A and B are shown apart, each in its own frame.
Chain A
Amino acid sequence: MRKTLTKYLVLVLLLLAVILLFQRIQWIPSFGDWFKSKPVEIENTAIVIKEINALAQLITVTAYNEVVIEEVIKGGSLFNNPIVPTLLNVPDLKYANKKLVLVGKGKVLAGIDLAKLTDKDIFVNRDSVSMKLPKATILQVIINPSDYDTFEETGSWTDAEARVVKLKLRDKLIITVLRQNILQKAAAKAKLLMENFLTASGFKKVTVIITPNEL
């Protein structure tokens, strides 16, 4: 009796080992995969070029940062008219609150827009050059879809509602990097870069001034 039982036990174990081995070498799907949701994949649609714009932006500093934003939308009343609960003598029932917590890893590019440079900003006299560069600005704020991490999401968030949260997160990122004096650093670096470029272009006396940023 004991021998038969052991035989069956070994057979079951062997079968299990074979199944697990086949799953490991991916000949058969794992048990978990049978009830796993298939990922939603997008179709490979065409990419259409809408605009081509010429730029002349001197990017001198990139600031990386990670910011968190929490947004709660309080659930409204189940009744359209606030008098209804009083009239029916029932409590004012409300929908559940919606909460979205996002973590965003973004980067901010700062520098100078050289397209704003006019003829009167450049003064050349033999081997001397004097240049007044426009003020340093934030040129790009980049938080792409892959840079967001949804930490918590409760309730049904519409596309427009979620977008508002992402825009708030972007504003928070800008405020954070501005505290790191990114514009001052970008201006200083642009000045140095332009001085080096003008020196390399054959000028002996180089003067570069940058329009200061308003505080």
Chain B
Amino acid sequence: MYFKKYSPVLLLCMLCMGCNKKEKQLQQVMALQQMNDLATVEYVVTKIIKANDNKTWYKIGDRKILMSCKATLTAGIDLSAIKPEQVNIDGRHITLTLPHSKMISVNIKPEDITEAYEAVDVLRQSFTSEERNGLAIQAEQQINASIGELGILQTAETNAALFVNNFLHRLGYETIKINFDNLATPKN
């Protein structure tokens, strides 16, 4: 009788406590992938990783860390995107339309992340390797987010045009005109 009367309440409780685990999608990658990228620029950027672990109310004492991080960003063009109709040859004159530049890689080498300073209070434990790596991941995310502001893609296009120009000149072309595909947009 009582159970029947208050069953909606119990049901609500059960619903609230019900689990909502989401299954992670499995990441699938090919072991070997063929590419057609011409890397034309490399930016070496540095960043200071500054963190202070004093936000948990029940942890007494501070611990802070300073690390320096260097990342190498590479950008270039995808040569496979050049279609035959984008090459126009007239004797010793050539007009070539190149695809817009794209980011090829962001590389943060282990030797490029170094701890500069660490201060840990008596009641706290020093940063573990995993925690330091966690901070480096945040730095990596911030670097990735700021790629657009660095101007690397524009430099990659300038260098690509220069390289292709020199290359075609070596092949005997006298007048070389290089354009960038206006239909495609640069991709990060």
Contacts and interface: CB of A to CB of B under 8 A. Distances in A.
B45 A47 contact: yes
Nearest to A181: B32
Contacts of B159: 54-55
A45 B6 contact: no
A197 B164 CA distance: 11
A145 B113 contact: yes
A13 interface: yes
Interface residues of A, number: 78
Interface residues of B, number: 88
B39 A59 contact: yes
A59 B13 CA distance: 58
Interface in B66-105: 67, 70, 74, 76, 79-80, 82, 84, 87, 89, 94, 104-105
Contacts of B181: none
B50 A200 contact: no
A47 to B, nearest CB: 5
A38 B48 CA distance: 21
Tell me if B's interface is mostly helix, strand, loop or mixed. Answer: mixed
A5 to B, nearest CB: 10
Given A55-B39, A55-B42, A145-B139, A24 B104 contact: no
29 contacts: A10-B6, A40-B52, A40-B134, A41-B138, A43-B50, A49-B43, A50-B44, A53-B44, A57-B76, A58-B39, A63-B32, A111-B37, A114-B167, A144-B140, A145-B137, A148-B133, A153-B128, A153-B129, A156-B126, A159-B114, A159-B115, A163-B113, A167-B110, A167-B111, A193-B36, A197-B79, A201-B168, A201-B173, A202-B94
Given A10-B6, A62-B32, A140-B107, 11 more contacts: A10-B9, A13-B9, A21-B16, A35-B58, A44-B142, A109-B105, A114-B167, A143-B110, A166-B110, A189-B35, A197-B79
Interface of A: 6, 10, 13-14, 16-17, 20-21, 23-24, 35, 37-38, 40-65, 100, 109, 111, 114, 119, 122, 124, 129, 139-146, 148, 150, 153, 156-157, 159, 161-163, 166-167, 170, 180, 182, 185, 189, 193, 197-198, 200-203
